[in-house]
Each structure stands twice: as structure tokens, then as C-alpha cells.
Structure 1
Amino acid sequence: MQYIKAIVFFLILMTLVSQLCQGDKYKPYIRLVTGFMLLALMMRPIAYVMNIGPEDLTVFSNVNTDSTESSFRSQALETYKNREEKKIKKILQSYKIQAKEVEVDTDDTKDDPEIDEISVKVEDEESEAKKVKTILLNFYNVDESHINISE
């Protein structure tokens, strides 16, 4: 709903700007610029649905012709780890569990990275350890021995 309001507001603003432009000389340029801005505004919900954040885009923007495949792969793996760590924190927060620190280790040997081990530091290890393991086991298909909970 927020995106729809933003798009409607932008369209009204775009109409106002085009009406304020006196001559026909600049109208094509104004339409071009505002059209690009409208496209960018309309891409935000699509990026949200596809779970593409700014950290994902920085990996692709840092790639240049001189970069090697291994440096790109390491940047992509680091971005994947960071995104999964944030996702685990959000999952635990939804269950009212405050994670101090989350660390994800991946299996780098395969083309598609898989989570190999998850380490979580929580406030109260005794009462929350079993709950955290159950939540992470249900969400990720990781062996129980590869989930480490500490205080």
C-alpha cells in the first residue's frame, strides 16, 4: 500500500512539474527524466519481493573487467553469509529471542553455497538453546550437530 501511495504521489508531482514547464522545448527531457524516476520507483516493490537489498547490488557494482572469478565468488559468498545472518536474526526476533551474534559458515566447494554450520550467541543459553535449535532446524536443513548455541 505504501508503494502505491508513493507512485500516485509521484504521478501527481510529475503532472504538476510538466504543467509548470512553459515551453514545449523542455517537455521531452522532463518526461524522460521523470519516466526513469518512475521506473526506479516501480522497481522497489519488485526488489523487495525478490529479496534484493543494497548489499546484493554492491557485489555486482564492484565487479569490473580486471576482477577475477575467485574474488567475485568470495564477495558473493560474503554477501550470502551476511544476508543469512540477518535473516536468522529476524527469524529469532519473530520468536522473541534476542541473538547477540550470529555466524554462518558455508560449504564453498559446491557451485551453490550451502549452510554448513550456524553459531548463535543468545542471552540465556539454558532456556533458549533448545528453542533456537528447533527453530533453525525447521527453517534450514542443517544437521543438529552443526548448530552451536552459546551464551
Structure 2
Amino acid sequence: MQYIKAIVFFLILMTLVGQLCQGDKYKPYIRLVTGFMLLALMMKPVAYVMNLGPEDITVFSNMASGSTESSFRSKAVDSYKSREEKKIKKILASYKIEAEEVEVDVDDTKDETEISEISVKVKNEKLEGKKVKTVLLNFYNVDESHINISE
């Protein structure tokens, strides 16, 4: 809803700027610049839905710079791992569990990258260990034996 409000506000502002422009000489340039700004504004929710972060965008920009397929794949896997580690920390924080360190191992031998193992370091393994396993089992489709909790 916030994105829709921002886009509507920008369209109104764009119309106002277009009306304030006196001659026809600068209108195409103003339309071009505001059009690019509108496009950038509209890409924000698309990137959010696709769960793309700044590190993903740099991976895709490196692809255009002529990097090899294997280096692109390794950068994409590293980006995926770091994004999942941040996501796990957020999930655990929502349950008031402070994860000191999170490490994700992935299986990228298939077409689709899957999480193969999750290692979480918490302050008190006895109190929080079972809760962490339950939360991660409910969220990720990983065997219980592949979730390692340490202190």
C-alpha cells in the first residue's frame, strides 16, 4: 500500500512539474527524466517481491561485465547464503532468540540451490537449543539432523 501511495504521489508531482514547464522545448527532457524516476520507483516493489537485495543486484551487474558462468554461479550462491543467514537471524530475533553466529551450507549441484545444513551459535544451548530447532524446522524443509546448535 505504501508503494502505491508513493507512485500516485509521484505521478501527481510529475503532472505538476509538466504543467509548470513553460515551453515545449524542455518537456521531452522532463518526461524522460521523470519517466526514469517512475521506473525506478516501480522497480522497488518488484525487487521486494522477488526478494532481491543490493548484493543480488551487484551479482547481476557482474554478469553483464563478462564474468564466466562458474564465477557468476559461485557469487550467486554466496549471495543466497548470506541472504538466508540474515533471514535466519531475523526469524530467530522475532522469537527473542539472539543468534551470535549463523552459517548456512547449500547444495548447489542441482538446478535449484537448496539448504543442506544450518549451524547456529546461541548463548545458552540448553535453554534455546530446542526452540531454535523447532523454529527452523517449521520454516525450512531440512532434516532435524542437519540443524546444528552450539554454544
* CA shift in 2, pair 1:64/1:31, >3 Å: closer
Partner of 1:26: 26
* Equivalent residues in 2 for 1:1-151, closer than 5 Å: 1-64=1-64, 66-151=66-151
**2 CA distance for matches of 1:130 and 1:61?**
41
Aligned partners of 1:27 and 1:66: how far apart in 2? 37
Amino acid at match of 1:68: T
CA separation of 1:130 and 1:86: change in aligned 2, threshold 3 A: same
| Residue 8 of structure 1, CA deviation | 2.5
Percent identical among aligned pairs is 82
Q: Which whole-Å CA distance do the structure 1 matches of 2:87 and 2:65 have between them?
A: 32
Q: TM-score, normalised by structure 1?
A: 0.91
- Displacement of 1:4 in angstroms is 2.4
Moved over 4 A (4+): none
Task: Provide the rounded CA distance (Å) in 1 between the counterparts of 2:74 and 2:40.
Answer: 29
CA distance in 2, matches of 1:19, 1:41: 21
Q: Which letter maps to 1:145?
A: S
CA 1:138–1:2 in structure 2 vs 1: closer, same or farther (change >3 Å)?
Answer: same
Amino acid at match of 1:128: E
2:66 and 2:12 map into 1 onto residues whose CA distance is 45
Distance in 2, Cα, partners of 1:89 & 1:110: 26
Q: Which runs of 5+ in 2 are unaligned?
A: none
Shift of 1:65: 5.7
* Alignment partners' CA distance in 1, 2:84 and 2:74: 15
User: Residue 110 of structure 2 aligns to which amino acid in structure 1?
Assistant: K
* C-alpha RMSD of matched pairs (Å): 1.5
In 1, Cα distance between equivalents of 2:108 and 2:43: 32
Report the CA distance between 1:116 and its aligned residue: 1.2
Q: Distance in 1 between matches of 2:42 and 2:68?
A: 34
